[in-house]
Amino acid sequence: MLSSRRKFIKTAGIGGAAIATGIGAPYVNAQPKPIKWRLQTYSGAPLGAHVIKPQIDAFNEAANGEMEIELYYADQLVPTAELFRAMQRGTIDAVQSDDATMASPVDISVFGGYFPFNSRFSLDMAAMFKYHGLNEIWEEAYGEVDNVTWLSAGAWDPLHIFSKEPIRSLADMKGKRVFGVPTAGKFLSQYGLIPVTVPWDDVEVALQTGELDGVAWCGFTEAYEVGWADVCNYALTNSITGAWCGSYFANTESWNKVPPHLQALFRSTIDQSHYYRNVWYWAGEARLRVEGGKLELTSLPKEEWEKVTGDAEVFWDKIADTSPRAGRVVQIFKDYSALMQKAGYPYR
């Protein structure tokens, strides 16, 4: 019995040592380090609060610690015109921007931002991407670019000109220096408008100091949201196009490191973001035209506006001649426009 007792105590001692060294210790689940991304948007912080922050917040919460995206606004990490190259190099992991503003090196970049009269409403752009072939063309174009993955395009607000002095005729555009997106600026320059590029956060000050005479960058919702309606006096109701076209892009190496379930989550929150903005802009444009109170509304004479729309057809054909793929995009615009005209109300 004594011998058995000594053996038990000895064994218990070994067991105690074993427990002390971790056998039987509480289970600890060692989580892998979360994936970290840096994403920069074309927009400044006031606008970004609507056009991207809700999406990034939703993704980070739903990713449940597996991935975290750090959001940066216009020019915070790199100048907007250098966004594409920075993403391609991996300096940043993802971008939200239109193709033209970020200087995408593809033959369809001219259609990003505001391409004159390519849409009447935001849903036009979404429909053309999903059901009329633009998705396939964008995937094809960016598939030819090293280390960049195009993810999704969305359509947002219309393009109006907001100015300090009134525009009531094409002659009133002559000499006015405006901040705007590249393609729309190129089109409007034929009427004497002078496109000027400044950092997004400097636009309001540039309007106050006289460096700028106006903006051709957005619709009423954004002009009021970011403060430009406070430093402009007039709004031209004739919209150069009905909806902005912008996309989400990712560095391909960064994208391929994201597991499929998180890729699906990111795409889902992008769709959520498209929906949020479409509704926010649609409601804001009408309300602020009627109830905004800060801007006097002006319009071009009917015959001059007809000239602008005719000039847009010439502009389309010139762009179509720049490459076969650009020609395919323009043909989709033409076919879709003809379809909507035949469909009539409420489409046109």
For 133-186, the pLDDT digits (tens) are 999 999 999 999 999 999 999 998 999 999 999 999 999 999 999 998 889 999
CA end-to-end distance (rounded Å), the chain: 101
The token pair that represents 346 in the structure block: 């409420």
Rounded to whole angstroms, what are the CA distances from 49 to 46, 98, 170? 6, 18, 35
The domain segmentation of the chain, as residue ranges, is: 35-155+242-293
> ∠ at Cα 121 (119, 123), nearest 5°?
100
For 209-241, the pLDDT digits (tens) are 999 999 999 999 999 999 999 999 999 999 999
Instruction: Establish whether the linkage from the previous residue to 346 is cis, with ω within 30° of 0.
Output: yes
Task: Say how far apart CA 240 and CA 159 lie, in whole Å.
Answer: 6
Q: What is the CATH number of domain 35-155+242-293?
A: 3.40.190.170
* Length of the chain as a residue count: 348
For 39-97, the pLDDT digits (tens) are 999 999 999 999 999 999 999 999 999 999 999 999 999 999 999 999 999 999 999 99
Task: Say how far apart CA 113 and CA 188 lie, in whole Å.
Answer: 14
